[in-house]
C-alpha cells in the first residue's frame, strides 16, 4: 500500500513555539489525513473501536520529537503536542 500521512504544523509568533495543530488538521482534512495512492482515496488514522493505523503512533512520536527539537532551537521548552 502506498499511503502518505499528512500533519499540520503551525508556528506561533507570540510564543515562538512550533506545534502539531490537530484543530486545523481536522478542519482542513475533513476526509482524513491519509492519502492512499493505490485507491486514490483519503482516510482517517482512526479506524474505529479504539484502533488506529498501525504506523500512526510511531509517526506521532517522531513528529513530537522533531517539534520538540525545533522548539529547543527557538529557546522555548515543550514538545510539539497540540495545546
The predicted structure's pLDDT at residue 82: 55
What's the pLDDT score for residue 14?
Answer: 93
Task: Output the pLDDT for position 77.
Answer: 77
Cα–Cα distance, 49 to 77 (Å, whole number): 34
pTM beyond 0.75: yes
**For residue 62, what pLDDT is reported?**
97
Q: Mean pLDDT of residues grouped by 10 in the chain (83 residues)?
A: 94 94 95 97 95 95 95 81 55
Q: Provide the 3-class DSSP secondary structure of residue 5.
A: strand
Supply 72's cell numbers: 529547543
pLDDT score at 37: 97
Amino acid at each position: 500500500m502506498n499511503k502518505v500521512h499528512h500533519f499540520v504544523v503551525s508556528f506561533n509568533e507570540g510564543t515562538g513555539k512550533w506545534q502539531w495543530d490537530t484543530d486545523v488538521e481536522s478542519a482542513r482534512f475533513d476526509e482524513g489525513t491519509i492519502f492512499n495512492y493505490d485507491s486514490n482515496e483519503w482516510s482517517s488514522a482512526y479506524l474505529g473501536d479504539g484502533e488506529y493505523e498501525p504506523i500512526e503512533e510511531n509517526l506521532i512520536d517522531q513528529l513530537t520529537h522533531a517539534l520538540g527539537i525545533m522548539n529547543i532551537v527557538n529557546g522555548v521548552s515543550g514538545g510539539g503536542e497540540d495545546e
